[in-house]
C-alpha cells in the first residue's frame, strides 16, 4: 500500500515535496490555516487552525506519517500529532530551532561556534550590549523571525532609538555581527537508521534578508570540510530524521553557525534538476526509512529566487538547462513566488548563463 504523507503547512515547500513524491507512488494530505495555501492545488487540503485538535485528529486518521513545511508549526501541535502518528523531524528538534537563543546554546554545547550574543529584555540592556559589541550587531526576535523579519541593524548608539518600544515585550537577542566573506549552507539528509547524505556546499546571496541566489558547488575554501562536518555533527546529535539545512558564515579564518532550518530549504531548490536526488525526495525517503538517493551532481547549478512578482516575459524565455518553477501564489512585495534553476558544466558557462538570463528578463539580482 502506498504511504500517505501528511504535511503541516501548505506552502511551496509542501508543494515541491508532493511533486517529488507523486512519481514514487506517495500520496499527500496538507494541513494549513489558509484556504489559499498553494500546496492545495496539488492534493487534499484540510483548512483549520494548528490548535484545532478535532481537525488534527481527522488529519491523523487520513495519513501514515507526518512532516512539516516550515519551522514555526507550534511545537504543541506536533506533540499532539506525534501521539497519533510518527512525525519527522521530532518536536524536540523544532523546539530548539524555533528559539535563536536555544539554538545557539545547543550549538555551543556541542563545540560548534556561533556569533557572540547577549539576551535582551529592555532598552537599557540593549544599550549595554550594543556598547560591548562596539555598536556592530543585529537585534533579533528570538522567535518567528525569517527572511529578515524581526531584525534591526544596530550600528550606532542612535540606531537603538529606531527600535520600536513594543518590541521589548518579545524575547530578544543581540548578535555581534560576523565580518563574513560569504554565507554558505549545508543540506543534510538523515534517516532513522542513521544513514547520512550531504549535497555539495551551497553559496548564498541575500537582499534585504531574503535569499536571492544560490550557486553550487560553492567555490572551494579551506573551511569547507569543517563546515560540512559541523552540519553532519548537528544532524547526529539531534538524532535528526529528514532534511536539515544549516546556514554558516565563513570568514577568512573561521566558520560560524548562523541558523538551522529543520526542513527542506530555499537554498536546496536547485537539487530538483541539479542533483541525482532532490532534497525533497530524500526528505521523504528519510522519514520513511528508505535508502537515501545519491546527492551527486553533474557540473554546476544556480538557483534564482523570484520575489514579489515575475518579470513580464518570464515564460517566453526558453534556454537549454533552464527550469522554471511557479508556486501558484499571488504576487505581493517580499513574497517568494517562484524560482528558476540554471545548469552548466563550468563556472564560467554558468556565470554567462546567469548574465544572459538577467539581461533578457530586464531585472537586477
**Full set of structural domains in the chain with CATH:** 4-87 (3.40.50.20), 116-176 (3.30.1490.20), 182-361 (3.30.470.20)
SS3 206: strand
Answer yes or no: are the C-beta atoms of 299 and 200 closer than 8 Å: no
SS3 11: coil
Catalogue the long-range contacts made by 58-64 (C-beta closer than 8 Å, 24 or more residues apart): 59/6, 59/29, 59/31, 60/6, 60/84, 60/85, 62/4, 62/6, 62/29, 63/4, 63/5, 63/6, 63/29, 64/3, 64/4, 64/5, 64/6
- Tens of pLDDT, residue by residue over 303-337, are 999 888 887 777 778 888 999 999 988 888 888 89
Per-residue confidence in pLDDT tens, the chain, 365 aa: 689 999 999 999 999 999 999 999 999 999 999 999 999 999 999 999 999 999 999 999 999 999 999 999 999 999 999 999 999 999 999 999 999 999 999 999 999 999 999 998 988 888 899 889 888 999 999 887 655 567 888 888 888 888 888 888 888 999 999 999 999 999 999 999 999 999 999 999 988 778 889 999 999 999 999 999 999 999 999 999 999 999 999 999 999 999 999 999 999 999 999 999 999 999 999 999 999 999 999 899 999 998 888 877 777 788 889 999 999 888 888 888 999 999 999 999 999 999 988 888 876 66
> Chain-centre distance of CA 21, in angstroms?
19
Stated pTM of the model: 0.93
Catalogue the long-range contacts made by 224-228 (C-beta closer than 8 Å, 24 or more residues apart): 224/184, 226/255, 227/184, 227/186, 227/201, 227/255, 228/186, 228/198, 228/201
Find the helix packing angle between 75-82 and 53-62, rounded to 10°: 50
Amino acid at each position: 500500500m502506498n504511504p500517505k504523507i501528511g504535511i503541516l503547512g501548505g506552502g511551496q515547500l509542501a508543494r515541491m515535496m508532493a511533486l517529488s513524491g507523486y512519481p514514487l507512488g506517495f500520496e499527500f494530505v496538507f494541513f494549513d490555516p489558509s484556504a489559499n495555501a498553494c500546496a492545495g492545488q496539488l492534493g487534499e487540503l484540510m483548512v483549520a487552525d494548528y490548535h484545532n485538535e478535532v481537525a488534527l485528529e481527522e488529519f491523523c486518521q487520513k495519513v501514515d506519517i507526518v512532516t512539516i513545511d516550515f519551522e514555526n508549526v507550534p511545537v504543541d501541535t506536533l506533540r499532539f500529532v506525534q501521539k497519533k502518528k510518527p512525525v519527522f523531524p521530532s518536536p524536540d528538534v523544532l523546539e530548539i530551532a524555533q528559539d535563536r537563543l536555544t539554538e545557539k546554546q545547543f550549538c555551543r554545547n556541542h563545540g560548534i561556534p556561533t556569533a557572540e550574543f547577549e539576551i535582551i529584555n529592555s532598552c537599557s540592556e540593549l544599550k549595554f550590549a550594543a556598547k560591548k559589541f562596539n555598536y556592530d550587531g543585529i537585534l533579533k526576535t528570538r522567535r518567528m523571525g525569517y527572511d529578515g523579519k524581526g531584525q534591526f541593524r544596530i550600528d550606532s548608539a542612535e540606531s537603538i532609538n529606531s527600535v520600536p518600544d513594543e518590541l521589548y515585550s518579545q524575547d530578544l537577542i543581540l548578535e555581534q555581527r560576523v565580518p563574513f566573506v560569504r554565507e554558505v549552507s549545508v543540506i543534510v539528509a538523515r534517516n532513522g537508521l542513521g544513514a547520512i547524505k550531504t549535497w555539495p556546499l551551497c553559496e548564498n546571496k541575500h537582499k534585504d534578508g531574503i535569499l536571492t541566489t544560490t550557486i553550487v558547488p560553492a567555490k572551494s575554501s579551506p573551511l569547507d570540510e569543517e563546515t560540512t562536518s559541523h552540519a553532519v555533527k548537528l544532524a547526529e546529535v539531534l538524532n535528526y530524521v529528514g532534511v536539515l539545512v544549516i546556514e554558516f558564515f565563513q570568514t577568512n579564518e573561521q566558520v560560524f553557525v548562523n541558523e538551522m532550518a529543520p526542513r527542506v530549504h530555499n537554498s536546496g531548490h536547485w537539487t530538483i534538476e541539479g542533483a541525482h536526488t532532490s532534497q525533497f525526495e530524500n526528505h521523504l525517503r528519510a522519514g520513511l526509512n528508505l535508502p537515501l538517493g545519491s546527492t551527486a551532481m553533474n557540473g554546476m547549478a544556480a538557483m534564482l529566487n523570484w520575489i514579489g512578482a515575475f518579470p513580464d516575459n518570464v515564460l517566453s524565455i526558453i534556454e537549454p538547462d533552464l527550469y522554471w518553477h511557479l508556486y501558484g501564489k499571488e504576487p505581493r512585495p517580499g513574497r517568494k513566488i517562484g524560482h528558476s534553476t540554471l545548469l552548466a558544466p563550468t563556472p564560467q558557462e554558468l556565470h554567462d548563463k546567469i548574465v544572459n538570463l538577467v539581461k533578457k528578463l530586464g531585472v537586477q539580482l
